[in-house]
Structure 1
Amino acid sequence: MSVNQQTVEETKAQIRGLVNEIASLAKSGATAEEFYPELLSRIITALAAAGGAIWLLDDDKHLKLQYQINAEPSILADDTDDSVRHSRLISRAANAGQSLLVPPYSGTSDGESGGNPTRYLLVLGALAHDGHKDGLIEIFQRPDTAPETQRGYLRFLEQMCSLAAEWLRSQKLRSLGDRQTLWQQADSFARAAHESLDLKETAYVVANEGRRLIGCDRVSVAIKKGRKCKVEAISGQDTIENRSNIVTALNRLATRVVAAGEPLWHDGATEDLPPQIEEALEDYVDQSYGRNIAVLPLREPQRKLGGEEEGAAGEIDRDDAHRGEVIGALIVEQIETDIPQEIFRQRCDLVYEHGTRAIANSQSHSNLFLMPLWRLLGRATWILRARTLPKTLAVVGLIAAVIAGLTFIKKDFNLSAEGTLEPTVRRQIFAAIDGEVIDVLVQRNSKVTAGQELVRLRNPDIAIQLEELEGQLRSALAELRKVKAQQYGQLEPADRTALQGQEFELETKIESLRKKLALQRERESQLIIRSPIDGVVTTWDVEDTLRSRPIMTGQVLLEVADLSKPYSLKLELPEKREGHLDHYVKERGGDDDLRVTYILATDPTMDALEAALPVTSISNRAESHEEHGAVIEMEALPSQTPLRDLSPSPGASVIANIHCGRAASGFVFFHEIYEWLCKFFF
């Protein structure tokens, strides 16, 4: 008896432990996938039952099996008599909220009635909380037990059902809380999406706020332009690099999905996709590494044209709201997150519903005729309000005064030109013969006189030719002396005549050799470069430039200028300004010199110097120029007195202004801007 009592106590302790586990499980935050198996297995263990099942009522009050252990196959089959009778039995019990004990093989033969077609005792515990029927827990128990024991099974199951009902209540409260949060987010998204009518701003709102609502990794919005789609917004990015490979691939994918007109839901499989979409999708996935990608064509909602009471825009046709013209695409991507597919699609549809209407409204608003102008005028109406009207009139008056001043106040009109100061007497010294520089006798700024040696060259060929000619001349002279000596002896007339012929021939040869020798010596003298005039060497770094350098005939070696003579001003006027100069010359008539003022580029703070520009010195043709493209060359005659005090270096750069009379100050200040606008827009 003590052994049996001990066994009973152990069994009770085990049951109490199972009950405590079920109570802890009901209070935990376990999911349905975790809670139902653990609950049912512990109840079956505690009751030593053969099996069981958990049934819950859906929104239509139909029971749906949530989990089962060792349930009779006959009651789980579809459209069998046993399953129909069993279904009616448990549906009536669940909807009534009653806990029952149903004997095996019980019930009437009436086809409309329910019953227990199994060989087990059915212990049915109702799941209910706060008057709301949730379903029931069904236990398959052995029927060979006492009635009191069976009622104990039912009481125990009712207690477990109350614990399970608490868990169901907490799950519903959590679901309602999540749903309320979702609707708050959806409401915030809807208000943000419809807040602006600017298309680009709306696209950015849909992309960024849509990503938060869906809980995905990236949302992009592409707008259809012509036959192609262009990505206008990507969540988390302020700017878009349209030339990047990933954006190009996304544009191509959106274009092809929009052309097909059907949504694309990609979860890794591409077998059933058209080849064009499959190619674009694989290309994009290779670069974005997206696991789940949804490309949803955005369609403009269609509207019914109604009467006056419905307004000019008409009423949206809810039954045909998403069969209008495609205006773009919504691209949703999951890279790392793992949202359940059902929730993912529901939230995508929610973003699509509001996003497509917001983008369609923004696009319709932006496409209105002259909308940028109307928007600007609308924003500018504040300047005519009572408070700002005095300020507006003051600003308008100031602007009018400025315009009048620019129109009626005259100002000197000058044409800017660049140039150099050059001595009027200067000589470039050329090489008259090929050679190699062996000695440079002057430096920059060295004073030289006419005929003074400047550079010495060497030409080995000339030295060799001189040596050869001198040798030939000596040989010819020796032979001539020999022929003359032979004529003093007793000779036959014929021999004397022959010697006289040789003598004449040698004299002719000697004369030719002497002329050649004189020419070669003259060439040799040309190896010494001399100054043609008195003056100053103006070439920079003469010795380092010329020493040991091979020289060719006609090459410029250096330049000598006579700084005691007057300077001239060489100017280059950009060809685009020539029209103003020609107009001024024709307007004033005659050939009087034009007035020019200039400053040295080395000292921009100096007072402007005067020069006279003869009209005849202005070139009639344009010359190419590296910086200005084409220039008109001209030569002015500067006043020499200030130049003697300044002693400018030959070739010094100057900045000159050619005076072309007076003109309206507005024209003087802005004529180049006006000409630029005329060049590019007229």
Structure 2
Amino acid sequence: MTEVDAFLDDLDRLAATSATDAPAAFYRQLLPAAAMALGSDAAEWFPLASGGDLPTRWPAQPGKATPLIDSERVERVRFDGIPRIVVGENGAPAVVAPVEGASDVVGVLAIRLGDGAATPERSVELAAAVAEIASRYELRREADRVAAAQSRLARVENLLVRLHSRRGRSAIAREAADQGRLLAGCDRLTVLAPSGGGWRIVAVSGVQQVSRRSDAARRIEKLTQAGLAAGEPLVVPVPTGAEPPPQLAEQVDRYCDAAGVRALRVLPCEPPAEADEAPSRPRLALMAEWFDEAIDPEADALLAALARHLGVASQRDGAGGGWRLGRTATALVLAGLLAAGAIIAMATPATLWLPVDGRFEPIDHARVFAPLDGVVEEVLVKQADHVTVGQPLVRLASPDLLLKQEEVAEAIAATEAEIASLETEKLRASLPGRNEDAADATTLASRVAALREGLGHQQRQRELLEAEAAKLVVASPLEGDVVSWRPDDYLADRPVRRGQRLLEIAAEGRWRIELEAPDHRTGPLLRAHEMGEPLLVEYVVRADPASTHTGRVASVAPSTHADAEGSPVVRVVVDPDDAPRANPRSGLGVSAKIDCGEHSLAYVWLHEAIEAIRRRWF
């Protein structure tokens, strides 16, 4: 490989690796290399269709340097596309070569030939090779520009699709703020909506919750209002030849200094209007801000398109449309509605119902208790058996009582035997010729009298024990049905103590409902009961909640007691209007509500809170 081939390979690698967004840096490296290869002391790049790039010259000359070739020769080379040697600056020869892009010549390379240059043919050949390498770089640039344009177009399409698929002003504004900032390349994008006589922030890019009372938010809203009031989009820095109103310019300067903003745009979001339609107030507005001055050249066009589509989306959804109240007016309207509702609630009568729970109980019923300590020897009845007054229910056994009876019987037998023995001795003592050492009749008589008195006590004790033994057979105190659950299973062979409940007997036909009202909720009930009229009760049986039954309050307990859970309750007895329809049985649970009279609707809704506040404060 020759030195020229190695040189061209180095340039080829340079064209393949240089950044396509910095063409000036590429040509600053290409020009000196190409000039030295051709034995030149100066080279220049004339861009023609590369998007406004400035000419690049080596070595760089300060100020306005004279080009190596005039513009007429540059256009001629561009037109015919043939590298050649021309007369250049100050009559010095220069080789020029066109650099082609994808469809046209994009620029011209000019290299001044010095005294050490190669032959003209060789110089033209080398210049053409360098121009071909530059063409490959320009093709890369154009391919990257197309890819970037396609990527941006895809982002624009994605944003518009997502924007028009949203519903609701907040969702539309949030999508526009977050995605629009990325699309336009600004540092912050704010979406505002009209509110009352001004503008109010709806969404800010990158911010989930906007503090609208902050100084920054207030400044943005005021600047947007002032900028849109001028009738034209607000652009900072101001374009050349444009003069904003002095008052607006002063406000913009204060805002930019306080927020550190270097550039901003304020645009109304107006949908396209027909030719005969009068312009309407924009439904939304955009404020784009840059904290440095690196603004994308296409940012203005993208923001304008976003504003139009945002106006269309808001018009379609109704976001921001129509007359809107300010925050103060809205608060006053809500306060008025609440006050009107409160007045209506206080003036409207309603029935206050007190919900309580309870159970059915027979009016005539008795609980059978163990008369003394013992063991259940036999259960003589079963659940639901009908019993009569005095019918045996349970037979108990008491080993202690049996032992006492045996001891008393033995004591009585011993006493009676001793009395008989003394009576015999007393007879003998009364016969003539008795032994003088034996007890006399008087002494024996006193001893017999004492034993007879003791015998009387023992007999009375036996009678008491027999009475106690009779109690071991527990009888029914009334006629009715056995309502205890499976008494034979629960009582058989079970030790019991005196006073322990064994069975429950319920008489048929007459029932009542016993309710337990929580003590802290009985105020309205007690006040209604004091009026003297029977209070209506509606209840459902928990076993059959589809049917509603009625009753009347018969009595309210004058005292409070603790329920099974230890909570204070007040017992309320209810006479059911049609108990047989409810199919009652002892202990059947019911859910009831008691009519506590008419009160205002507000009190019916809030009486518990009112009572709680009264208990707390008073």
State the TM-score, normalized to the length of structure 1.
0.46
Distance in 2, matches of 1:125 and 1:468, equals: 149
Distance in 1, matches of 2:566 and 2:328, equals: 39
Q: Which amino acid aligns with 2:133?
A: A
1:43-94 deviation per Cα after TM superposition (whole angstroms, max 9, x unaligned): xxxxxxxxxxx999956679655999xx9xxxxxxxxxxxxx989x989424
Q: Give the counterpart of 2:130 among 161, 173, 185.
A: 161
Structure-2 change in CA distance of 1:318 and 1:525 (3 Å):
same
2:514 maps to: 570
1:560 matched to 2:505? The reply is yes
Distance in 2, matches of 1:234 and 1:491, equals: 139
> Any residues of structure 2 matched to 1:530-541 within 5 Å, and which?
530-541=475-486
Distance in 2, matches of 1:436 and 1:208, equals: 88
1:435 maps to: 374
1:262-288 deviation per Cα after TM superposition (whole angstroms, max 9, x unaligned): xxxxxxxxxxxxxxxxxxxxxxxxxxx
Please tell me whether the aligned partners of residues 358 and 514 of structure 2 are also in contact (alpha carbons under 8 angstroms). yes
1:93 maps to: 43
Please tell me whether the aligned partners of residues 429 and 558 of structure 1 are also in contact (alpha carbons under 8 angstroms). yes
Distance in 2, matches of 1:133 and 1:493, equals: 173
SS in 1 for 2:383: coil
Q: Give the counterpart of 2:558 among 620, 623, 638.
A: 620
Please tell me whether the aligned partners of residues 420 and 570 of structure 1 are also in contact (alpha carbons under 8 angstroms). yes
Please tell me whether the aligned partners of residues 387 and 481 of structure 2 are also in contact (alpha carbons under 8 angstroms). yes
Please tell me whether the aligned partners of residues 359 and 590 of structure 2 are also in contact (alpha carbons under 8 angstroms). yes
Distance in 1, matches of 2:137 and 2:121, equals: 25
Shift of 1:540: 3.1
Structure-2 change in CA distance of 1:165 and 1:451 (3 Å):
same
Structure-2 change in CA distance of 1:596 and 1:482 (3 Å):
same
1:170 matched to 2:139? The reply is yes
C-alpha RMSD of the superposition:
6.6
Shift of 1:427: 1.1
Shift of 1:492: 2.7
Shift of 1:440: 1.7
1:492 matched to 2:437? The reply is yes
Aligned residue-pair number: 443
Structure-2 change in CA distance of 1:187 and 1:57 (3 Å):
closer
> Any residues of structure 2 matched to 1:204-603 within 5 Å, and which?
309-310=247-248, 317-318=255-256, 321-322=259-260, 418-471=357-410, 474=413, 488=428, 490=435, 492=437, 514=459, 516-563=461-508, 566-573=510-517, 578-584=522-528, 591=532, 593-594=533-534, 596=536, 601=541
Distance in 2, matches of 1:160 and 1:512, equals: 150
Distance in 2, matches of 1:528 and 1:160, equals: 132
SS in 2 for 1:560: strand
Distance in 1, matches of 2:251 and 2:360, equals: 77
Distance in 2, matches of 1:34 and 1:429, equals: 117
SS in 2 for 1:422: strand
Shift of 1:531: 1.0
Please tell me whether the aligned partners of residues 373 and 497 of structure 2 are also in contact (alpha carbons under 8 angstroms). yes
Distance in 2, matches of 1:213 and 1:57, equals: 18
Structure-2 change in CA distance of 1:680 and 1:515 (3 Å):
closer
1:649 matched to 2:589? The reply is no
Task: Tell which has more relative contact order, 1 or 2 (C-alpha 8 A, sep 6+).
Answer: 2
Distance in 2, matches of 1:301 and 1:549, equals: 85
Distance in 2, matches of 1:481 and 1:165, equals: 156
Q: Give the counterpart of 1:673 among 593, 605, 610.
A: 605
> Any residues of structure 2 matched to 1:74-223 within 5 Å, and which?
92-95=42-45, 128-129=99-100, 130-132=105-107, 152=122, 157-180=126-149
Please tell me whether the aligned partners of residues 436 and 548 of structure 1 are also in contact (alpha carbons under 8 angstroms). yes
Gap regions ≥5 residues in structure 2: 48-58, 60-94, 186-202, 210-214, 227-244, 263-293, 308-319, 430-434
Shift of 1:568: 3.8
Structure-2 change in CA distance of 1:63 and 1:598 (3 Å):
closer
SS in 1 for 2:508: coil
Please tell me whether the aligned partners of residues 480 and 506 of structure 1 are also in contact (alpha carbons under 8 angstroms). yes
Please tell me whether the aligned partners of residues 448 and 535 of structure 1 are also in contact (alpha carbons under 8 angstroms). yes
1:36 matched to 2:13? The reply is yes
Shift of 1:185: 7.2
Structure-2 change in CA distance of 1:508 and 1:128 (3 Å):
farther
SS in 2 for 1:93: strand
State the TM-score, normalized to the length of structure 2.
0.50
Shift of 1:429: 1.1
Please tell me whether the aligned partners of residues 189 and 213 of structure 1 are also in contact (alpha carbons under 8 angstroms). no
Please tell me whether the aligned partners of residues 419 and 452 of structure 2 are also in contact (alpha carbons under 8 angstroms). yes
Q: Which amino acid aligns with 1:541?
A: R
Distance in 1, matches of 2:108 and 2:257, equals: 35
Please tell me whether the aligned partners of residues 56 and 65 of structure 1 are also in contact (alpha carbons under 8 angstroms). no
Distance in 2, matches of 1:420 and 1:39, equals: 94
Shift of 1:563: 2.4
Identity of aligned residues (%): 19
1:391-436 deviation per Cα after TM superposition (whole angstroms, max 9, x unaligned): xxxxx9xxx9xx999978x887766655444333221111222333
